[in-house]
């Protein structure tokens, strides 16, 4: 079985993050410009996140999670498993 290309995986992460961010923005009834103002970046940066061009830095991801009332695991699509 061929090994999956790391670049392909990274592109999937960016696309997944973009989709989750769009859903969270819609749920918060917020636009990209408002989110950008609240987390201290330009609206261009948020548009890049929304279009899957970049993943967020950890500090900006944390700020987005506070503003959007969610957590990083949810934004990044990390499944939670119960502790044994």
Q: Which residue has the tokens 């918060």?
A: 28
CATH number at residue 27: 1.10.260.40
Q: Is residue 57 part of a domain?
A: yes
Contact status, residue 4 vs residue 62, Cβ threshold 8 Å: no
> Quick one: pLDDT at residue 4?
57
Residue 83 inside a domain? The answer is no
Cα 3 to Cα 6, 7, 10, 16, 80, distances in angstroms = 9, 12, 14, 21, 26
In a domain, 2, yes or no: no
81 inside domain: no
Tally of domains within the chain? 1
pLDDT in tens, the chain (84 residues): 455 566 778 888 899 999 999 999 999 999 999 999 999 999 999 999 999 998 888 889 999 999 999 988 888 888 766 654
82 falls within a domain: no
Residue 1 belongs to a domain = no
pTM check: above 0.75: yes
Q: Is 60 left (phi over 0), alpha (psi -120 to 50) or beta?
A: alpha
Judge contact between 32 and 64, C-beta under 8 A: no
Q: What is the DSSP letter of 53?
A: S
Domain range for residue 51?
7-76
Within a domain: 36: yes
The answer to whether position 33 is within a domain reads yes
Residue 72's CB: how many other CB atoms inside 10 A? 13
């Amino acid at each position: 079985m061929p090994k999956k290309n790391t670049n392909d995986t990274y592109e999937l992460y960016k696309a997944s993050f973009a989709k989750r961010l769009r859903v969270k923005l819609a749920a918060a009834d917020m636009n990209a410009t408002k989110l950008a103002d609240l987390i201290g970046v330009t609206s261009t940066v948020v548009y890049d996140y929304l279009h899957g061009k970049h993943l967020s830095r950890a500090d900006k991801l944390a700020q987005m999670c506070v503003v959007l009332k969610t957590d990083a695991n949810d934004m990044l699509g990390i499944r939670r498993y119960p502790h044994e």
